[in-house]
Amino acid sequence: MCIRDSLLYMRIGKRLTEQSILNEPNDIFFLHRDEIKQAINGNPKVNQKTIQHRRSEFHRYENITPPKFLDGDREYNDPIPPTAQTYYGLPASQGVLTGTVRVLNSITEITEVRAGEILVVPRTDPGWTPVFSKIGGLITETGGVLSHGAVVSREYGVPAVTNISNACRIFQTGQVITINGATGSVHLDE
């Protein structure tokens, strides 16, 4: 969805809120197209209970990485298994750095980051951009070479490795690691 579409939906959401069809304009994003059309035509088929259910589903799965492949009802990924103390992801921004880990699960914790630390997060979005001038490296649980974290890391010259499943559980704040943004490897230094 482009910005223009988002603004259009927000206007529609505002009007539907003024008509007491929605509780707040952002509820529009939890409706299907046909439900939006019905609401615009004055015949809403969805209620607040449905919207709240969809919102809670969204928040429940927001930070969970989906499997790369599905085979029937079996989910699987094809990560390179770790060898000894080395983990592999996707190389996203070149450079090698040995530094201290800072694991954050939410942008609200961003003030804890210290200069030169290797930031380990589920994913980044534009709200994280200011911290890139401070960090020494980046590891994300999701993403690829075109993900937000990868692109901004390259702009700031910060080594980055993306797509290390469960990185926020594997690595711990205070650990010393070596990140290689050219090979996609992260080695635990003991």
**Domains contained in the chain, CATH given:** 3-61 (no CATH), 86-189 (3.50.30.10)
What is residue 5's DSSP assignment? H
What does DSSP say about strands 160-162 and 137-140: parallel, antiparallel, or unpaired? Answer: parallel
Cα-Cα-Cα-Cα dihedral sign, residues 30, 34, 35, 40: positive
* Higher pLDDT among residues 5 and 57, named by residue: 57
Dmax over CA atoms of the chain, in Å, equals 65
pLDDT value, residue 68: 64
Check pLDDT > 60 for residue 186.
yes
Percent of the chain with pLDDT over 90: 63
Q: Confirm if 113 and 103 have CB atoms less than 8 A apart.
A: no
Alpha-helix runs per DSSP H in the chain: 3-18, 33-40, 48-61, 148-156, 167-170
Query: Which pLDDT band holds residue 8 (cuts at 50, 70, 90)?
Result: confident
Residue type, 68: K
pTM attached to this predicted model: 0.62
Strand, helix or coil for residue 96:
strand
Residue of 32, 53, 59, 148 marked catalytic? 148
Q: Mean pLDDT throughout 136-160?
A: 94
pLDDT tens, residue by residue, 62-104: 777 666 666 566 555 555 555 678 999 899 999 999 999 999 9
pLDDT value, residue 64: 73
pLDDT value, residue 129: 93
Q: Confirm if 145 and 90 have CB atoms less than 8 A apart.
A: yes
Residue type, 64: I
Q: How far is CA 38 from the centre of its chain?
A: 32
CA distance to 56, 57, 84, 161, per residue, from 62 (Å): 10, 8, 31, 21
pLDDT tens, residue by residue, 22-46: 999 999 999 999 999 998 888 888 8
Read off φ and ψ for residue 158, nearest 5 degrees: -100, 125
Least reliable range by pLDDT among 55-64, 87-96, 128-137: 55-64
Catalytic site residue 148?
yes
